């Protein structure tokens, strides 16, 4: 009697199926999920070493295709995030497990894909090419080039999904990351390894500040990665041209999922970018990653979840939308010296509608990140640029990373500016104010004029310290708009050509600042 007690139909074969099969495997009289396949007949040269054996392979069948999602029956041992290869040449990523079938995101597709195609597990997971070979390149979330060049020359690959570093592997955020924005670098500082949210209505300058931050990393030994999710091709081209014009493309990688890309590709974009930046961090480098934007990403995930018939929750988002962004942003941190000392700073962007920051996705991201920079559409309409609402902006850990010289000069500046904004309300009603209040209002208006900044015009840290000292010493008081612009330009030019550093004594800085401003007065 054949040793198999299950009455195996292959009892006449030289081998037999294992005694204990996984309980999740199902058999069907019409389409068995597991088939035993004999290998091809051996070549004559190999006949002597050939021995009959069985090869067990799961075969599934595509039951439906549409909207970037494919449903497959007959792969009971499929796992989440595994890659499935279909007989027409398409590939899909397992994204949903049901008792009788799986739902998968189409990664690549051909016109021949249709119900009835055969599907098999590949045993692989989705990975991204990593390394410095990606610098200066524009790729899609699958690692394919979009800039017309050849495939990136990368020796390593990394899974797009991964665990965040454990607490014991992390270190304090104690090194500044300069964005080039006067308001941010002095009043809302950011440190390397921080997660700082840029939030505001559409068209208020969030992406412009992110680009300023990328441009400011020139000669700072920071590798940058810009993830564009669901944006128009014209916006993508404009961003690439801007980075190239300012010489920032050489140290930047762009991961682009255009608005015309499938829902699944748009969903994968931030995770693909995170994997690339995470590899740099683990190699001991400092990395900056911009997610532009996670509101669009949340909408893509909602669409994908509804297509896969997951139960909707608040605002029709699935219940795990918070976990989705938490596990993404939690991978940004600063590693300890024992783990390489690298860092990954994240600047996620979130869009609001009519300034409503209490919406579902904005509140989620605010609670996940280490602070937020809020852009106000009313300030933008009044021409106050950058339109950053300091009253709603905060950096919870960036102050620890701010350089001592800038921290000393900034001091109470944010508090004084907030008090000025409250006092300025009284001037709208024509109320008569005391002399001390009028002086504080004049001082606040001067500070607002100093903080004004054009788009894509980042300022260096030395320039920040120069105008801070001039402002605190009241060297800029009493200047009209034209004189103030001239004075600030002289300070910027002088700081760029000086041999002073942020660690130089304040007395030397004050002497230099007075000299630059006296030159301005003589020319006037």
Q: Report pLDDT for 520.
A: 55
Q: Report pLDDT for 61.
A: 95
- Band (pLDDT 50/70/90 cuts) for residue 5 is very low
- CA–CA separation, 495 and 517 (whole Å): 12
Domains and CATH numbers, the chain: 59-124 (2.40.30.20), 128-402 (3.40.50.300), 412-518 (1.20.150.20)
Contacts of 114 (CB under 8 A, 6+ apart): 62, 65, 88
Q: Report pLDDT for 138.
A: 96
Q: Report pLDDT for 469.
A: 95
Output b/e per residue, 162-173; b: 16+ Cβ within 10 A: eebbeeeebbeb
pLDDT per position as a tens digit, 19-67: 343 433 433 333 433 333 444 555 555 567 777 888 778 899 999 999 9
Mean pLDDT, the chain, integer: 88
Q: What is the dihedral of CA 461, 467, 473, 477, to 10 degrees?
A: -160
- DSSP secondary structure of 246-292: TT-GGGEEEEEEETTS-HHHHHHHHHHHHHHHHHHHHTT-EEEEEEE
Q: Report pLDDT for 18.
A: 39
pLDDT per position as a tens digit, 331-344: 999 999 999 999 99
Q: Write out the catalytic residue numbers.
A: 396
Q: Report pLDDT for 4.
A: 43
Q: Which tokens belong to 519?
A: 């030159």
Helix (H) or strand (E) holding 85: strand 82-86
Residues 290, 296, 301, CA angle at the centre, nearest 5°?
Answer: 110
pLDDT per position as a tens digit, 102-141: 999 999 999 999 999 999 999 899 999 999 999 999 999 9
Measured between alpha carbons, how far is residue 139 from residues 36, 147, 345, 440, 469 in Å? 41, 7, 21, 51, 44
Task: Report whether pLDDT(345) > 70.
Answer: yes
- CA–CA separation, 136 and 220 (whole Å): 16
Residues 54, 59, 64, CA angle at the centre, nearest 5°?
Answer: 175
Measured between alpha carbons, how far is residue 126 from residues 102, 105, 144, 259, 345 in Å? 17, 12, 13, 22, 24
Q: Report pLDDT for 166.
A: 94
Reported as half-sphere exposure (CB side, CA atoms, 13 A), residue 297 has a value of: 28
- DSSP secondary structure of 89-121: S-EEEEEEE-SS-EEEEEEE--TT--TT-EEEE
Q: Report pLDDT for 433.
A: 73
Strands (E), 169-265: 197-201, 222-231, 252-258
Q: Report pLDDT for 22.
A: 41
Q: Report pLDDT for 434.
A: 80
Helix (H) or strand (E) holding 494: helix 481-497
Q: What is the dihedral of CA 337, 161, 214, 188, to 10 degrees?
A: -70
The average pLDDT across 301-311 equals: 92
- CA–CA separation, 201 and 186 (whole Å): 24
pLDDT per position as a tens digit, 159-178: 999 899 999 999 999 999 99
pLDDT per position as a tens digit, 470-513: 999 999 998 888 999 999 999 999 999 888 999 999 999 999 99
CB atoms within 10 A of CB 14: 9
In angstroms and rounded to an integer, the radius of gyration of the C-alpha atoms of the chain is 29
92: β partners: 84, 106
The average pLDDT across 216-242 equals: 95
Q: Which of 124, 176, 135 is nearest to 277 (CA)?
A: 135
Phi and psi at residue 398, in whole multiples of 5°? Answer: -65, -25
Instruction: Give residue 311's Cα distance to chain centre.
Output: 27
Q: Report pLDDT for 246.
A: 95
For helices 435-451 and 461-472, angle between their N-to-C axes, nearest 10 degrees: 160
- CA–CA separation, 271 and 323 (whole Å): 13
Burial class (CB in 10 A: 0-12, 13-18, 19+), 251: buried
Task: Report whether pLDDT(322) > 80.
Answer: yes
pTM as predicted: 0.87
- CA–CA separation, 331 and 345 (whole Å): 10
Task: Report whether pLDDT(428) > 80.
Answer: no
Phi and psi at residue 263, in whole multiples of 5°? Answer: -60, -40
Residue 265 and residue 228 in contact, taking contact as beta carbons nearer than 8 Å? no
Q: Report pLDDT for 155.
A: 83
Task: Report whether pLDDT(213) > 80.
Answer: yes
Q: Report pLDDT for 422.
A: 84
Q: Report pLDDT for 28.
A: 37
Q: Which tokens belong to 510?
A: 């004050």
The average pLDDT across 457-469 equals: 94
Please identify which residue in the block is written with the tokens 């600063």. 334
Question: 45-49, 149-153, 276-280: lowest mean pLDDT where?
Answer: 45-49
Task: Report whether pLDDT(10) > 70.
Answer: no
pLDDT per position as a tens digit, 74-111: 898 999 999 999 999 999 999 999 989 999 999 999 99
Task: Report whether pLDDT(205) > 60.
Answer: yes
Residue 165 and residue 341 in contact, taking contact as beta carbons nearer than 8 Å? no
């Amino acid at each position: 009697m054949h040793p198999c007690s299950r009455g195996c139909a292959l009892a006449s074969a030289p081998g037999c199926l294992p005694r204990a099969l996984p309980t999740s495997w199902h058999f069907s009289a019409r389409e068995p999920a597991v088939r035993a396949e004999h290998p091809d007949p051996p070549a004559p040269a190999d006949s002597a070493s050939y021995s009959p054996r069985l090869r067990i392979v799961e075969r599934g069948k595509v039951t439906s295709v549409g909207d970037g999602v494919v449903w497959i029956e007959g792969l009971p041992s499929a796992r989440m995030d595994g890659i499935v290869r279909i007989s027409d040449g398409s590939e899909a990523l397992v994204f949903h497990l049901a008792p009788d079938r799986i739902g998968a995101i189409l990664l690549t597709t051909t016109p021949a894909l249709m119900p009835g195609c055969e599907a098999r597990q590949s045993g692989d997971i989705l990975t991204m090419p990593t390394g410095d070979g990606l610098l200066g390149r524009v790729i899609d979330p699958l690692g394919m080039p979009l800039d017309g060049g050849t495939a990136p020359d990368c020796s390593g690959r990394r899974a797009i999904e991964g665990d965040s570093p454990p607490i014991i592997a992390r270190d304090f955020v104690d090194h500044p990351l300069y964005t080039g924005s006067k308001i941010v670098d002095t009043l809302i500082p950011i440190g390397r390894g921080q997660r700082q949210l840029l939030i505001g209505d559409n068209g208020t300058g969030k992406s412009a500040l992110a680009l300023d931050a990328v441009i400011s990393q020139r000669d700072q030994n920071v590798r940058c990665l810009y993830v564009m999710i669901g944006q128009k091709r014209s916006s993508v081209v404009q961003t690439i041209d801007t980075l190239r014009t300012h010489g920032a493309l050489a140290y930047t990688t762009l991961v682009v999922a255009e608005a015309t890309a499938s829902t699944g590709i748009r969903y994968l974009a931030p995770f693909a970018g995170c994997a690339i930046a995470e590899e740099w961090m683990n190699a001991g480098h400092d990395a900056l990653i911009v997610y532009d934007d996670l509101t669009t990403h949340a909408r893509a995930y909602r669409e994908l979840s509804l297509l896969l018939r997951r139960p909707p929750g608040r605002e029709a988002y699935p219940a795990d939308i918070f976990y989705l962004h938490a596990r993404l942003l939690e991978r940004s941190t600063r590693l300890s010296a024992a783990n390489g000392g690298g860092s990954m700073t994240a600047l996620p962007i979130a869009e609001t509608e009519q300034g409503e920051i209490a919406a579902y996705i904005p509140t989620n991201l605010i609670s996940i990140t280490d602070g937020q920079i809020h852009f106000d559409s009313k300030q933008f309409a009044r021409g106050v640029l950058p339109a950053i609402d300091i009253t709603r902006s905060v950096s919870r850990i960036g102050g620890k990373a701010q350089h001592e010289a800038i921290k000393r000069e900034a001091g109470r500046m944010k508090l004084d500016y907030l008090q000025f904004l409250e006092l300025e309300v009284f001037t709208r009603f024509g109320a008569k104010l005391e002399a001390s209040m009028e002086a504080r209002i004049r001082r606040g208006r001067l500070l607002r004029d100093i903080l004004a900044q054009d788009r894509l015009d980042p300022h260096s840290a030395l320039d920040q310290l120069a105008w801070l000292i001039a402002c605190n010493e009241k060297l800029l008081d009493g200047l009209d708009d034209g004189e103030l612009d001239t004075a600030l330009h002289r300070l910027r030019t002088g700081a760029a050509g000086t041999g002073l550093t942020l660690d130089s004594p304040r007395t030397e800085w004050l002497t230099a600042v007075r000299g630059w401003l006296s030159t301005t007065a003589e020319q006037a």
